[in-house]
Amino acid sequence: MKPLFGTLLFAISLFSTANAQLLYRISGNGLDEPSYIVGTYHLAPASFVDDIAGVREAMAAVEQVYGEVDMSDMARARELMLGAMMLPEGKSISDLFTVDEMSRINAYMREVMGVDFSNPLIASQMGRMRPSMLATQLMLLQYMKLTPGFKPTELIDEYFQAEARKQGKRVGGFESEEFQMALLYGDMSDAKEREELLELVDNNTEAIAEMQRMADAYFSLDIKRLGDMMEGEVDSGDMTLEEFKRMVTDRNRRWVEAMPEVMSSAPTLFVVGAGHLPGDEGVIALLKDAGYKVKAVR
């Protein structure tokens, strides 16, 4: 798999990946009451909460939920997403690709959606999408097609924050939507975006198989397999060490620097992509290095 597309898959898994033991109790180091951290997979259904031992008890015990971002202002999030998704006014995706390349893109769209850019509605709705965003959308649509019962409005990350609000608990986030949009797409050149979409179009079977392997690792709670897959992205050259640092370890360190103040203010359930939890520079190890006791809840 080409490095650029490997990075896209890694990003999807990261904001959405898993850990073998998903829920951990954080105590000690001056905390009066314990807090918790749970790892999620962005494409996991909300119903999977019932498969995470102890998580409902943890939710009942805390006073606030902290995610990667605060999802409360969905209207603003959609506005930011739309802004990040679109090409400049007057530009369409067909301006960026050759006739042959557009033919390949259209063929993949027909496979996934049953329609392509020859459909006026699709052309108006998706024709101004940036190639990287179109690649992400098509990959997720293919995942939905292969996953009966998948409901994009009932996913696990949103569940925790919605449930917290229902119970009258506070909700917060480590990062802004602007930061995450910039992290994923901010420095991507037109050439990289073109390459990313064509890599999906020409290697879609491999892409979906990789996504499915990541999902399988999450649902089977296989921490070793997931850790091996993540390390393999760097070892194989699909992701550079600098990209891994920017997307994973730098953020882990910032989160762990922020967590003491958050936990001291009130017992907290932290909800993050579980790809951030394992490893020597993962959130769990960094919390232990900072003097906390971190124990799996079984």
Q: For 225-282, what is each residue's pLDDT tens digit?
A: 766 777 777 777 767 888 888 888 999 999 999 999 999 999 999 999 888 888 888 9
Question: Which two structure tokens, joined as six digits, stand for 56?
Answer: 């409902």
Higher-confidence residue: 147 or 7?
Answer: 147
Higher-confidence residue: 216 or 254?
Answer: 254
Are 101 and 198 in contact, with CB atoms under 8 Å apart?
yes
Residue labelled with tokens 């891994």:
244
3 state DSSP class of 40? strand
Q: What is the pLDDT of residue 150?
A: 80
Are 295 and 24 in contact, with CB atoms under 8 Å apart?
yes
Question: Which two structure tokens, joined as six digits, stand for 199?
Answer: 């890599």
First to last CA, the chain: 37
Q: What is the pLDDT of residue 231?
A: 72
3 state DSSP class of 248? helix
Strand partners, 37: 24, 270
Residue labelled with tokens 């939507």:
177
| Percent of the chain topping pLDDT 70 | 86
Of the CA atoms within 13 Å of residue 219, those in its CB half-sphere come to: 13
- Phi first, then psi, for residue 237 (nearest 5°) are 90, 0
* Residue range 160-186: mean pLDDT, rounded: 88
Q: What is the pLDDT of residue 293?
A: 98
Residue labelled with tokens 């902290």:
66
Enumerate residues 6+ apart whose C-beta is below 8 A from 168: none
* Residue range 205-209: mean pLDDT, rounded: 81
Per-residue model confidence as pLDDT tens digits over 38-82: 998 888 889 999 989 999 999 999 999 999 999 886 656 666 666
Q: What is the pLDDT of residue 24?
A: 96
Give the DSSP letter string of 57-110: HHHHH-SEEEEEE--S-HHHHHHHHHHHHBPPTT--GGGSS-HHHHHHHHHHHH
Higher-confidence residue: 241 or 97?
Answer: 97
Higher-confidence residue: 298 or 237?
Answer: 298
| Percent of the chain topping pLDDT 90 | 46
> Quick one: which of 27, 21, 22 has its CA closest to 263?
27
pLDDT at 1 over 70: no
| H-assigned helices in the chain | 3-14, 55-61, 74-85, 99-113, 120-126, 131-146, 156-166, 177-181, 190-202, 204-219, 223-235, 241-244, 250-265, 283-289
Higher-confidence residue: 3 or 151?
Answer: 151
Burial pattern 245-254, b for ≥16 Cβ within 10 A else e, equals: eebbbebbee
Enumerate residues 6+ apart whose C-beta is below 8 A from 82: none
Angle at 28 between CA 27 and CA 34, to 5 degrees: 30
pLDDT at 198 over 90: yes
Per-residue model confidence as pLDDT tens digits over 102-127: 999 999 999 999 999 999 999 998 99
pLDDT at 224 over 80: no
- The confidence band for 137, taking pLDDT boundaries of 50, 70 and 90, is confident
Torsion (CA) 233, 235, 239, 244 in degrees, nearest 10:
90
pLDDT at 5 over 80: no
Are 224 and 20 in contact, with CB atoms under 8 Å apart?
yes
Higher-confidence residue: 187 or 133?
Answer: 133
- The confidence band for 183, taking pLDDT boundaries of 50, 70 and 90, is confident
